[in-house]
């Protein structure tokens, strides 16, 4: 029961409060988080928000990498076109 009381808001490894209560009151040990369809405890809410932030952050980073790769491809294409143009001019002379 002390796990329930000691759980800190800054603790990213905190356990679901319902899991701890079920273990203590009902001896049910197969639960890992608040069940679907029920209100989430403060710990599960915090973990859900952290996961959502990670998903958004990863999506933004992925988009930036794609944009950077596209810019690099366009730059390489322009360099190649310039090189080809210079080669064509040399051959024309």
Per-residue pLDDT reduced to its tens digit, 49-62 = 999 999 999 999 99
Residues (pLDDT < 50) of the chain are 1
Question: Looking at residue 7, what is its pLDDT?
Answer: 52
Q: Quote the pTM value.
A: 0.49
Q: Please give the Cα distance from 15 to 44 (Å, whole number).
A: 8
In terms of Cα–Cα distance, which of 32, 1, 2 is closest to 15? 32
Question: Looking at residue 19, what is its pLDDT?
Answer: 82
Question: Looking at residue 80, what is its pLDDT?
Answer: 92
Domain range annotation of the chain: 2-92
């Amino acid at each position: 029961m002390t796990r329930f009381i000691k759980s800190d808001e800054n603790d990213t490894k905190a356990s679901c409060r319902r899991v701890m209560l079920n273990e203590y009151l009902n001896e049910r040990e197969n639960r890992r988080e608040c069940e679907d369809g029920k209100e989430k405890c403060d710990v599960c809410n915090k973990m859900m928000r952290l996961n959502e932030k990670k998903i958004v952050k990863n999506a933004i980073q992925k988009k930036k990498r794609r944009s950077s790769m596209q810019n690099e491809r366009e730059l390489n294409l322009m360099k190649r076109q310039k090189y080809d143009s210079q080669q064509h001019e040399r051959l024309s002379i």
